[in-house]
Each structure stands twice: as structure tokens, then as C-alpha cells.
Amino acid sequence: MRIVRVRRGPTIPPYYSPDSIFNRPVSDADTLAADQSQAQHAANQIQYGKPGHMFFGYTGVGYGAYEWPYSLGFNVYQFTFPIYAVRPSDPSQRISWQKVGLYVNASPAPYPLGTQYGNIQAYTLNVPIPDKTLCPLITGTAPYEDIWSHGEGGCVIWNVETDEAWEFFELTNHGPATMQSRLGCTWLAQMAGYIPSMTTFNGCFANMWGARGTSLGAVGGVITMEDLRRINAGGSIDHGLCFALAMNGGSGSQVLPATRGDGPGPSGNYFPHIPAGYPGSGQPNPAYQHDVSYEGSRLRFPADVDLSAITTPVGLAIAEAIRDYGMTLVDTTGAAAFYTEDRRTLGSPYHIQGADAVDPWSLTWSGGSVLNIPSLGSGFTVLHELPWDQLQALTPVAS
């Protein structure tokens, strides 16, 4: 089935500046990298176990031990970010101004962050926290336990009246009690980023700030609910995308615009030998030092890529966005993943398009549901039809 859509002109999201690495179209100034290995490494990790692609079978505890089609998917309600658009002057929003105390979850004992990392703690002393009781999807049980996302406690709060924004990693008001007492607050997080102007932010933090392991902005490149509504109406994604891979090279391996890195490290894997309890235990691990990826890498499909085999509107929109704007490696995850906006603001006054905005997950989609293609079998998503072997690496540039 051939999908024909009419592009409705650029619709820059309200997140970050138009010339951010996440919003800037690929142009003639974006040259192809002389070394295309990062494109190949990404394509391999995305397609482990697909016919013609080796599956190494063990790439680390929780990192990359997934075979096609489970080697590729979406972070939908965990390991992603809800975006709260708050208006503190509106009493009906019931905003609570709170200190968010930052701490390092170190072993054997956590400790306050203090003035480390450019004194980010000074910027989280008065954060406008939304009222979860106004969010009908927050039920108190997984995956919608509270205002933060499931998995890593991600959360973005945007004060649309001042344009300030905060993003958090492992946000919570559930303890630990000893740290709440030491910091003199109920709300805690293990890292944060402060953005003076959401609409002019370039998408890159300094000073080790940010909720992502790369210090790239949390909502840069996220497929938003408004993106999905536009696609359903025949539109497109008019910004770049973010994605994560399993076997990243760790701190120091990142390339611009990333200003820090995480992941298993230079070998792309924690184990030179297959651990006990796995097939081939004790034998050399074939995934060790193979397909190591560098966070911050920006990839694209060629301008003349053939997308005619893609049968779903969302799949086509994602492929076109990768072709026209690129995709940036922003974090480490258990399997290759793209990010969608967490749904928990739907039906609340904090949803940027309003409490009455249509839930894109409830719309009728050709080819299956929003992201899945049931006809292809369990685990297959709209991403599985994309021509991943045609990825190209762009020369790293600062945002």
C-alpha cells in the first residue's frame, strides 16, 4: 500500500529554538561523516537477529539482549517524559511551589548534590509542581503512578507564563526519608536541568545538567501527541527525532552536541565472557567490543531514499523526519528505542493542547494501532518497515 500525504508546511514545536539540533532541517551544510561506522553500528543494533544481521545473544544485563523484532521499539510510558505546561497564575491549576532537593544515589550512602555541576541545586529551589489529582490518567498504579514517568522518574515542567522549564531524572516525593530530612524538602531528584527559555533553548546543556545521560534536552526529538494528531490528519513530523541504543561507549566517547555520555563503556558491553546462566557460559562474548555507538551521533536517511514499502502513516512520517531532519542518539537503553511523549497529561489542564485535546491513541489508524502492526506479528511496530541499512552518519556539529 502506497501512502500519499500532503505536507502542510513547517510546524515547529514549541520546544526549543528553530535552529536547535532537533528542529533544524538537514541541509547542504550538514556533510556526511568521512567514517560511516556509526551508521552501520546503529543499523546493526537496531536489526540484531534480522535475516542477514548477526544476533550476538548476550550484550549485557539489561542492555541489548534482544533479538529482532524486539531489538527495536518505542519508549511510550516508561523511560520517556511527560510534559506539563503549567500556568501558576491560574488558581484552578492548583500549582504547588516546591524545593526539589538533588542528591547522588551513591553506594554505600546517598549524599546531597550541593553546589556540584554548576550549582544546579540553586535552580530547583522553587519549582511549580502540578497537582496529580487533576490528571485522570494518574491512577497511583503502574505505569501511571505519579507525575513522573515509569522506569526512571522522568518529568518536564514548563511554566508557559515565564517560558522557564525544568527537567528531572528520578523525580519523587516518596523518599528516601533520610535525604528528605537532610535537604529539608519532600521532593527529590537525582539530576535536573533548568531552562531559562523553553522556546529559545538550543537543546544542549552545559555543566552536566539535564535528565538525559548526554545532557541533551529531554523533549528534543520526542514524538509528541500533537505530532501524532497531525499525522492522523495527513500531516508530518516537522522536527528531528531522538533515539537510544544499548551499546554506547560511555563517558568520553560522546560527540557534539552531546556534552556527556553514558552506557557500558569503550567495549560497548560489560562482559568479555558470557556470564553464568546464559548459553555458552564462560565462553568469549561475541558482542564484546562490537558495534560500539557514540552518543550525540546524528544520522539520516539519504535524500533519495525509497520509502514506498512503508505501509503506515506513522512509519512514513518517522522515516521522512529522519530523512529531512535527522535522528540524534541521546541516551542508553536496553534495546534500540525511539521516544513518544508520555500520555499522563491527557485530560488535565497541564496538557499543552488543553484538557479537551484528542487522545491520539484513541484515533483510527490504518495498518493497525498507532505504533504497532499486528499483521506482522508480536513485537512488530511501525519502525520495522524502515530501511535501516540506508542510514548515513552526519559530521558531528554543535547545536
Domain range summary for the chain, segments of one domain joined by +? 37-393
Residues in the chain: 399
Q: What is the pLDDT of residues 51-71, one digit of tens each?
A: 877 766 666 655 566 789 999
| Helices 225-232, 313-324: inter-axial angle, 10-degree rounding | 110
**Percent of the residues in the chain that have a pLDDT greater than 70, as a whole number:** 93
**What's the CA gap between 276 and 390, in Å, rounded?**
37
Write out pLDDT tens, residues 188-239: 999 999 999 999 999 999 999 999 999 999 999 999 999 999 999 999 999 9
Indicate the pTM of the whole model. Answer: 0.93
pLDDT reported for residue 14: 63
Q: Please, is 44 exposed, middle or buried when counting C-beta atoms within 10 Å of its C-beta (0-12, 13-18, 19+)?
A: buried
Residue-wise pLDDT for 95-144, tens only, equals 999 999 999 999 888 999 999 999 999 999 999 999 999 999 999 999 99
| DSSP structural state of residue 168 | E
247 alpha-carbon distance from chain centroid = 16
> For residues 45 and 262, what is the distance between their CA atoms, to the nearest angstrom?
17
313: cis peptide before it, omega within 30°? no
Taking residues 159-183, report their average pLDDT: 96
Cis peptide before 143 (omega within 30 of 0): yes
Contact 228, 11 (CB under 8 A): no
How far apart (Å, rounded) are the C-alpha atoms in residues 398 and 388? 25
> What cell was used for 356?
479537551
Which of 345, 332, 21 lies closest to 155 in space, CA to CA? 345
Q: Is the pLDDT of residue 355 over 80?
A: yes
